Amino acid sequence: MSDVNKVVLAYSGGLDTSVILKWLEDTYGCEVVTFTADLGQGEELEPARTKAEAMGVKEIYIEDLREEFVRDFVFPMFRANTVYEGEYLLGTSIARPLIAKRLIEIANETGADAISHGATGKGNDQVRFELGAYALKPGVKVIAPWREWDLLSREKLLNYAAEHNIPIERHGKKSPYSMDANLLHISYEGGVLEDTWAEHEEEMWRWSVSPEAAPDQATYIELTYRQGDIVAINDQPMSPATVLAELNRIGGANGIGRLDIVENRFVGMKSRGCYETPGGTIMLKAHRAIESITLDREVAHLKDELMPRYAEIIYNGFWWSPERAMLQKMIDASQASVNGVVRLKLYKGNVIVVGRKSDDSLFDAAIATFEDDAGAYDQADAAGFIKLNALRMRIAASKGRKLL
């Protein structure tokens, strides 16, 4: 164990990572550097500093990464209209590559030779953290305590904390769910959700009202796009993180963004999760709307074909991979003309597109009209177009090929 002198720990200040901090010191005889990231989880982070100081940590990093998170990770992902398995907007998945990046950067800054995280051996996050770490620093040592120790229950963790005088705050009844939050979403797992037939509990949700309790009056908003990213809401310019925070507020108030799914984890098991993604749900609908008038047909269709692969790359933890970088360049190139304004109607859990406009629009009303187009489109041309497209089928039928 003596080959590890200093470890950078992804530290929240909660029970798990507080125990990990002490366990690393005792097991590896090493110095621990703590790193706590503000990704918009809505919690006060200074208590993490106080706890780390109380445990004798000398190097403590607490960083506000909200703007970087949305600008460099969430927005690029939404340019691809990314959805995993048809529903999941990847709120947890997209946060992990940024955390991995900062863990490695801090390891380089402090001369640490290892990093550590609190992800369990059953989940996706261990894969995401470690794939990112190895991609950015091939020789780094990764310590995953949940794969090494025998503290595999909350009771054992509490006993360890008591034995080693680790300060643990208790705030009444603990949530029955395993939760993860950032500016893009909140996830909920465990508890009653482990029964796939049991309905999720209404009191579980934190950001949104139920669609039934949402206002009877619809809310209209206008989103301004520049090269595929939202830059203003209702003509008010905003930074990326501010855009997402405001869309979360508006969407949550209208009962938007709740999801209950069973997904396929990369490690092989199925897992039920509930997700609250009000801002992301609005962003996905609006982005597809602005693309509908600004993207060439074949470009749009090619993006749709590649999107499931891109989503899988992110879900499985390969953000820092050459294939994701290659796809990102193509996706970003497609967004040069994705500029304009989308008008949305938000009503009781629904996001309804009611208008879109752009100086880069490819929609030509003079051609698309059902009225007299004054010769803009010669309908007689369609006959030859159809016959040529039917040629292979006509030949096959004339040769006796049967389809029925």
Non-local (6+) Cβ contacts of 244 within 8 A are: 40, 70, 74, 183, 184, 279, 280, 283
Catalytic residue among 178, 271, 292, 361: 178
Where in 173-312 does DSSP place strands (E)? Answer: 178-181, 186-189, 219-226, 229-233, 236-237, 258-264, 270-276
C-alpha to C-alpha distance for 2 and 290, rounded to whole angstroms = 57
C-alpha to C-alpha distance for 74 and 272, rounded to whole angstroms = 23
CA dist 364 → 220, 294, 359 (Å):
26, 11, 12
First to last CA, the chain: 69
C-alpha to C-alpha distance for 383 and 74, rounded to whole angstroms = 46
C-alpha to C-alpha distance for 243 and 229, rounded to whole angstroms = 10
Q: Read off the amino acid at residue 293.
A: I
Neighbours of 113 (CB within 10 A): 17
Nearest to 119 by CA among 318, 317, 320, 322: 317
Catalytic residue among 12, 18, 93, 96: 96
Residue 125 bears catalytic tag: yes
Backbone dihedral angles phi then psi of residue 196, each to the nearest 5 degrees: -65, -10
- Name beta bridge partners: 263: 271
C-alpha to C-alpha distance for 10 and 7, rounded to whole angstroms = 10
Question: Element (H or E) spanning 329, and its range?
Answer: helix 322-334
Long-range pairs, 122-125, Cβ under 8 A, ≥24: 122/267, 122/269, 123/265, 123/267, 124/92, 124/93, 124/265, 124/266, 124/267, 124/315, 124/316, 124/317, 125/92, 125/96
Nearest to 315 by CA among 242, 261, 246, 278: 261
Q: Are 47 and 169 in contact (CB under 8 A)?
A: yes
Residue 16 bears catalytic tag: yes
Can you say how many angstroms the Cα of residue 27 is from the centroid of all Cα atoms in its chain? 34
Residue 210 bears catalytic tag: no
Question: Element (H or E) spanning 6, and its range?
Answer: strand 6-10
Catalytic residue among 18, 79, 102, 125: 125
Catalytic (active-site) positions: 16, 96, 125, 178
